[in-house]
Amino acid sequence: MSRTGKSLSLWHATARNHRDRPALEGRLDVDLVVVGGGFAGFSTALHAAEKGISVAVLEAEIIAWGATGRNAGFVVPNFAKMDPTAIIAHLGPERGDRLIEFAAGSADLVFDLIKRHAIQCDALQNGWIQPAHSAAALERVKSRAGQWAARGRPAVTLDSSAVQELTGVRGYVGGWMDRSGGVLDPVAYARGLADTAEKAGARIFEHSRVTAIDREPGGWTVRTSTGSLRAAKVLVATNAYGAALNPVLSRTYFPLRIFQIATAPLPRAIRSRLLPGGQGVGDTRRNLLTFRFDGENRLISGGMHVVGVGADNRVPRAIWRRLATYLDLPDLPPLQYAWSGMAAVEPDFLPRLVDLGPGLIAGFACNGRGIAMTTAMGKVLADWAGGADAVDLPLPFAPPSPIPFHGLMRYAPNMLLPWSILRDRLDERA
Query: What gap in Å lies between CA 2 and CA 142, rounded to an integer?
Result: 40
Backbone angles phi, psi at 222, to 5 degrees: -105, 125
The CA angle 166-101-78, to the nearest 5 degrees, is: 35
- Name which of 79, 245, 209 is nearest 151 in CA terms: 79
Rounded CA gap, 35 and 149, in Å?
Answer: 37
CATH architecture label of 10-408: 3-Layer(bba) Sandwich (3.50)
Give percent of the chain with pLDDT exceeding 70.
Answer: 92
pLDDT at 344: 87
- Region at 401 (left for phi over 0; alpha for psi -120 to 50; beta for the rest): beta
For range 406-423, the mean pLDDT = 65
What is the model's pLDDT at position 46?
Answer: 98
Please indicate whether residue 248 or residue 281 has the higher confidence score (pLDDT).
281
What pLDDT is stored for residue 408 in this prediction? 67
Q: Which position has the higher pLDDT, 5 or 161?
A: 161
Residues 6+ apart with CB under 8 A from 413: 254, 256, 304, 345
In the predicted model, is pLDDT for residue 421 greater than 80? Answer: no
Q: How far apart are CA 295 and CA 265, in angstroms?
A: 9
**Confidence check: pLDDT of 411 > 80:** no
Q: Which residue has the higher pLDDT, 230 or 254?
A: 230
| 4 pLDDT higher than 60 | no
Instruction: Pick the closest to residue 176 from 167, 185, 184 (CA basis).
Output: 167
196 phi and psi angles, rounded to 5 deg: -70, -40
Average pLDDT over residues 237-255: 87
What local confidence, expressed as pLDDT, does residue 418 receive? 64
- On whether the CB atoms of residues 177 and 134 are closer than 8 A, the answer is no
Confirm if 128 and 182 have CB atoms less than 8 A apart: yes
Angle at 43 between CA 42 and CA 46, to 5 degrees: 80
- For 301-325, write each residue's pLDDT tens digit: 998 776 667 888 899 999 999 999 9
Domain boundaries, the chain: 10-408
Which residues, in sequence order, are bridge partners of residue 260? 302, 339
pLDDT score, position 254 = 84
121-160 pLDDT, tens digit per residue, is 999 999 999 999 999 999 999 999 999 999 999 999 999 9
404: confidence class by pLDDT, cuts 50, 70, 90: confident
> Do residues 382 and 390 make contact, with C-beta atoms less than 8 angstroms apart?
no
Q: State the Cα–Cα distance between residues 168 and 276, nearest whole angstrom.
A: 8
Contact between 356 and 246 (Cβ < 8 Å): yes
* Predicted structure pTM score: 0.94
Instruction: Report pLDDT digits (tens) over 345-393.
Output: 888 889 999 999 999 999 986 777 889 999 999 999 999 999 999 999 9
Residue type at 11 in one-letter notation: W
**pLDDT confidence tier of residue 326, bands split at 50, 70 and 90:** very high
Q: Are 385 and 107 in contact (CB under 8 A)?
A: no
Percent of the chain with pLDDT over 90: 78
40 or 80: whose pLDDT is higher? Answer: 40
Please, are residues 318 and 326 in contact by the beta-carbon 8 Å criterion?
no
Please tell me the predicted confidence (pLDDT) of residue 2: 40
